[in-house]
A and B are shown apart, each in its own frame.
Chain A
Amino acid sequence: MDFPSLLIQLLNAVQYGLLLFLVASGLTLIFGIMGIINLAHGSFYMIGAYVAFVLASATGSLLMAIAIGVPLALALGWLLEWLVFSHLYRRDHLEQVLLTYGLILFFEEARSLLVGNDVHSVAIPELLRASIALTDTLSYPVYRLFISLVCLALALALYLLIRHTRLGMMIRAGSHDRDMVAALGININLVYRIVFALGVALAAFAGMIAAPVSTVYPGMGGHVLIISFVIVVIGGIGSVSGALVAALIIGFTDTFGKVIFPDYAGILVYVVMAAVLLWRPEGILRRG
């Protein structure tokens, strides 16, 4: 591998990792803070992509679709927490898995009835359609760089929210001791509802912003879900910064694995997960 392609592969790795972070961050929040194993998280990614497709076709603009879609996703999360997930906190993980697996089937069926089973594509916004020539044979689409920047900005915003706001403090406290926080007069149910809606919106937003580069197709949430769980486990359950580190590790492993050990690319990610778990069973950044 020559030096320019090494640099470009680094860029690929970071860009892929950041996008994975966007999905995994919501999952780790819901899993770590609310203690819920949410298999339907990949469906929210899928829903986001389809919402982007439908709204972008209707309005003619992806940015407009995102502007309408994100509040819709927040509302969906809010509603789901109220109707479904709020009944799950005191139940064991098996019942959570059953219910959220049922939700996957439900969302896939709804998608099939409403939009059909075809593969769709979403146009990249006019402003970001250019490519930057890197070598004489390779150029890099501006839109992919844009995705990375947006993901970085969101990562920073999440960090500030959780570490430096009153809501963030309640979220962190709630993850340690739900009952004590409630005893202090904080409406913990409301905090959970906000966290859940936020998690859903993050996954759906990832689906929306990735739609132009990933295309929109049935079952697209499945692969993302599995890799997101890997990231959550590596990063430490509930740790957003852990998820960022883990997502970047997975991005690097996947990208360079494909190039250097193509025969083992499929399992390499899981080998890394096993290694991390042997080294730090609690995940890289999990605090006691």
Chain B
Amino acid sequence: MAINKNRRATVGAIAGATALAATSTIALPALAQDRKLRIGLMLPYTGTFAQLGEAITNGFKLHVAENGGKLGGLDVEYVTVDDESAPPKAVENMNRLVRRDNVDVVVGTVHSGVALAMANVARQTNTTLIIPNAGADDITGSLCAPNIFRTSFSNWQPGYGMGKVMVDRKVKNAVTLTWKYAAGEESVNGFKEAFTAGGGKIVKEMFLPFPNVEFQPFLTEIASLKPEAVFVFFAGAGAAKFVKDYMAAGLKNIPLYGSGFLTDGVAEAIGEVGQGLITVLHYGDGINNPKNVAFRTRYASTYKQQPDVYAVQGYDAAQLLAAGLTAVKGDLSKKAEFHKAMSTAKIDSPRGPFTLSKAHNPVQDMYIRELKGRDNNVIGIAVKALADPARGCKA
């Protein structure tokens, strides 16, 4: 029963209106001289992930604006679709963008279930797809294709990075806990791979059904197992509740580690008890390269709010697209060359420069971050240039 879905936020209403405006512009015959670049933005603009969709859109449009509204010399026009983070509607929405609206490129989305369906359609229709968030390993694993790209991360990556950090910190054994769903399991698998390779021992793997938040029995279990550390994957409201419950249960003596989503966007809700938490992610606060500083300043002055990891991922999706288009001088008929140029591009991201793996997932540094106030301050690098193993990718 999908009763807990928050139907239509104000943001959504506005996004819906823009979508209407965008789709009603009549597609002009594609004359070579005034050819426009049609970009389909298929992102959540309502529901739990609405703010993430908005941040990605903002980041993307910021880079387009930096290029004077053009990418690869082509004027850009958008077709916006609210995917509602609803996997059952994903294929239909994606087909509409590709077949009816004739977009050249699709950018989306946040929810992995929706993104997997989008990737399937993209494979069948050879549509260029850039995924600005969804972390499902399969997208750049068994579903990899020459026309599918990702500018965010694979679930495996932050987990693996954290495993490495715990080995470096001489942790001998650990308990893992996550929701029993793809993102959680893939993150824990990444963690286990690095942790056991470094000689660490998994005392117990624990799961709870998604999105159950009654953690007390697990905390009691952890207290009686007395591991040296605990690794978890939680995100959003559940993450905030978990950290608070963990600390309230007096488990402070057993260090808690997690993928960066444990503290991203919920630092305020976690509050005082979460100070000093160590997490690993491909972005964080206080990355001191000129690109990041410039990006943050411009983003803040354009949108009157601070950018987050999602805004960076959207920004880089536009950068990646620009790199491909520039290489073919805006000639979209040279699809193979266009994709080739994207796959070999070096992206100067606010997170630091990255390239793409053979399966088109970022090969990127994994940062160690410490929660201080409301910031996840970068205090070191867990793994430099970490590539997802892309298991099952035959491209």
Contact = CB atoms under 8 A, between A and B. Distances in A.
Contacts of A2: 224
B270 A109 contact: no
A113 B10 contact: yes
Contacts of A138: 219-220, 223-224, 249-251
Given A15-B216, A223-B4, A266-B180, A133 B207 contact: no
Interface stretch (B89-97, B157-165, B237-245): B237-245
Contact of B51 (A16, A117, A214): A117
Interface string B257-269: 0000000011011
Contacts of A4: 224
Q: Please provide the 10 A-B residue pairs with the shortest distance between their CB atoms, ordered closest to farther.
A: A222-B4, A139-B250, A266-B209, A219-B4, A217-B237, A138-B223, A5-B224, A119-B269, A12-B216, A137-B223
B86 interface: no
Contacts of A141: 248-249
16 contacts: A12-B217, A111-B6, A117-B51, A119-B266, A131-B248, A131-B250, A133-B250, A138-B220, A138-B224, A141-B248, A214-B213, A217-B236, A218-B4, A223-B4, A255-B216, A262-B208
B372 interface: no
A4 B224 CA distance: 9
A140 B249 contact: yes
Interface string B126-143: 000000000000000000
Interface of B: 1, 3-10, 48, 50-51, 180, 206-209, 211-214, 216-221, 223-224, 226, 236-237, 240-241, 244-245, 248-251, 253-254, 265-266, 268-271
A238 to B, nearest CB: 23
A215 B8 CA distance: 22
A254 B271 contact: no
Interface string A101-132: 10011001101110001111100000000010
Interface of A is mostly: helix
B250 A137 contact: yes
A105 B6 CA distance: 7
Contacts of B51: 117
Contact of B214 (A111, A226, A254): A254
Contacts of B271: 121
A259 B221 contact: yes
Given A215-B269, A266-B180, A12 B220 contact: yes
Contacts, number: 146
Size category, A interface: 35 or more
Interface string A152-183: 00000000000000000000000000000000
Contacts of A1: 224
A13 B8 CA distance: 37
Contact of A8 (B4, B211, B220, B245): B220
A237 to B, nearest CB: 19
Nearest to B214: A16
A221 interface: yes
Contact of A120 (B4, B236, B269): B269
Contact of B217 (A108, A256, A263): A256
Contacts of A220: 4, 237
A9 interface: yes
Interface in A216-268: 217-223, 225-226, 254-256, 258-259, 262-263, 265-266
A149 interface: no
Nearest to A143: B248
A121 B241 CA distance: 9
A213 B245 CA distance: 7
B366 to A, nearest CB: 25
A207 interface: no
Nearest to B216: A12
B54 to A, nearest CB: 11
Contacts of A259: 217-218, 220-221
A225 B1 CA distance: 10
Nearest to A39: B3
B4 to A, nearest CB: 3
Nearest to A13: B217
A135 interface: yes
A136 to B, nearest CB: 8
B150 to A, nearest CB: 26
A226 B223 CA distance: 30
A255 B208 CA distance: 11
Contacts of A69: none
B266 A262 contact: no
A15 B249 CA distance: 14
A42 interface: yes
Contacts of A140: 249-250
A8 B3 CA distance: 33
Contacts of A225: 3
A53 to B, nearest CB: 10
A168 B1 CA distance: 34
B244 A262 contact: no
B329 to A, nearest CB: 43
Contacts of B221: 5, 259
A223 B211 contact: yes
Contacts of B218: 258-259
A2 B220 CA distance: 11
Contacts of B9: 109, 112-113, 117
Contacts of A139: 249-250
B237 A119 contact: yes
Contacts of B249: 131, 138-141
Contacts of A108: 5-7
